[in-house]
Amino acid sequence: MERLRQIPSWIWAVAGVVLFGLLFLVSQRLLAPADPLATVLGSSEVTTETSETITETTTMSTQAVIYVDVKGAVKQPALYQLPANSRVQAAIQAAGGFAEQADQNQINLAQILTDQAMIYVPKKGETPPSSLQQPATESSGETIKVNINTASEQELQQLSGIGAKKAADIIQYREANGSFKKIEELSEVSGIGEKTVEKLRPFVTL
């Protein structure tokens, strides 16, 4: 104790300053905020993972459905969205079932449908036009196309998106300008745009 009293006061002052400085540095280190760069990078990684998940989900959702055009002797002919790998029977049911005059014997209910397929249900005693596209199947992979240079108004109406008015306009254009030289020429017909032409391309021929 006597020795401590003999230590000069200025040494105690210096020691106090050093101790205070150390305590200040330690407190600043403990209270310092997290590295902003690390925070930004972490947030970016989460955003990227979320975007990838959304993309994968969207892709799976797109692949899980098909669109089928149901026409002819059904109760509610229209374009229907169905689960992938659906059969003709599911499309007929979606359209409200067969109409009373439908010739069910001409329809294969077991066929597996693909996207953009079209089903035409003929009436009893009716023979479907030879140019009429039949439902596309994965097994055959064959598509009977409509010849836009020879098809009648009724045959043209079997194409998805082509009603009586557009079918008549196609024939009128054909009579006024001669046969179509290329499929893209359909865009010259009133009411038919480039997007419609691209949708029709797999189902028409010259």
Residue 135 CB neighbours (<10 A): 22
Q: State how many domains the chain has.
A: 2
Whether 112 has a pLDDT exceeding 90, the answer reads: no
Please say whether the beta carbons of 124 and 103 come within 8 A.
yes
pLDDT of 74: 93
- Determine the Cα angle at 15 with ends 11 and 16, to 5°: 115
Contacts of 81 (CB under 8 A, 6+ apart): 65, 66, 67
Please say whether the beta carbons of 99 and 120 come within 8 A.
no
Q: Which helix (H) or strand (E) holds 81?
A: strand 78-83
Are 175 and 199 found together in one domain?
A: yes
Please say whether the beta carbons of 158 and 132 come within 8 A.
yes
Query: Residues 53-66: pLDDT tens digits?
Result: 555 555 444 458 88
Whether 37 has a pLDDT exceeding 60, the answer reads: no
pLDDT of 200: 85
Query: Residues 119-170: pLDDT tens digits?
Result: 888 888 876 655 454 444 444 445 567 888 888 888 888 887 788 888 889 9
pLDDT of 149: 84
Are 120 and 151 found together in one domain?
A: no
pLDDT of 141: 47
Please say whether the beta carbons of 183 and 148 come within 8 A.
yes
Are 134 and 149 found together in one domain?
A: no
Torsion of CA 192, 197, 202, 204, to 10 degrees: 50
Residue 57 lies in a domain: no
Are 150 and 205 found together in one domain?
A: yes
User: What CA–CA distances, in Å, run from 94 to 9, 78, 87, 118, 122?
Assistant: 98, 9, 11, 13, 17
Domain of residue 154, residue span: 145-206
